[in-house]
Amino acid sequence: MSAINLSYDGAIAVLTVSNEAKLNALTTAMLDALEGHLGRIDRSTDTVAVIVIGVGDTAFCCGADISEWGALSPAEFARIWVRDGHRIFDRLARLSKPTICALNGHAFGGGLELAAACDIRVMTPRATLALPEAKVGIVPGWSGTQRLMRLLPEPVGKEMALFGRRISAERALGVGFIAEVAEDVLGAAKHIAADLVGVSPRATEIAKAMIHGAVGEDRGAAIEALGSAAAGASADRDEGVDAFLNKRSPRFTGQ
């Protein structure tokens, strides 16, 4: 059975990509499940960090299941498969909680794009990264030419997308795409996540939004969210809400 499962280790949420028979390839049902889990995690006040990992020790995720999209018309492929996946990966990238991808195996195509949507990554030394879409006549569709390229030097991105070359864990560490190489990637990811226990979750959330605004990740929403938070903490906001509920004119003080 293919699935993306959500479990918890204390305050750490763990999302597990599970479709081992197909090297953890992503299906429509798995994308839908991921979107639902992200909504629940974002609303949680008890979660301090999120880890994304695959089952097994061969693949983290080897992309999208071709049997799910191979028969789609060009319009359906663009309008449904690509846009839906893009929306869900954007949701992961813009999650209010810090995210860590534990690359327990190879990450190709959509799997690499999934890893790129996390804040930081740790990787087993046996894994490789690749963008093999051209081999089946398509191009990266879930931010592989956009978000991923902001995280890689341009020549390395072209090496992968145009020439189909695989990148080793050592090379990925050297270009800064991953934070650490570890045999036990889940243990390494949990060790990193544990540093967030005792840290202000609100400060972490705001810092993440500010960084995203700087690098162009959902800049408009980041700016408006920060502005709304500042306005929401004001006495004027409390006065305005109270005046509305009690059908009177507000008396704003600028505080």
For residue 189 the two structure tokens come to: 């990811």
Distance of CA 17 to the CA centre of its chain: 13
CA 121 to chain centre: 11
Which residue is catalytic, options 20, 68, 76, 113?
113
User: Exposed, middle or buried by CB within 10 Å (0-12, 13-18, 19+), for 191?
Assistant: middle
- How far is residue 177 from each of residues 1, 51, 157, 212, measured CA to CA in Å? 31, 16, 11, 17
Instruction: Decide if 170 is catalytic.
Output: no
Which structure tokens are listed for 30? 């798995």
120: closest CA among 161, 181, 38?
181
Q: Which residue in the list 68, 76, 133, 239 is annotated as catalytic?
A: 133
CB of 102 within 8 A of CB of 186? Answer: yes
Please list the residues that pair with 100 across neighbouring strands: 51, 120
Tell me if residue 154 is catalytic.
no
Which pairing describes strands 12-18 and 59-61: parallel, antiparallel, or unpaired? Answer: unpaired
Catalytic residues: 113, 133
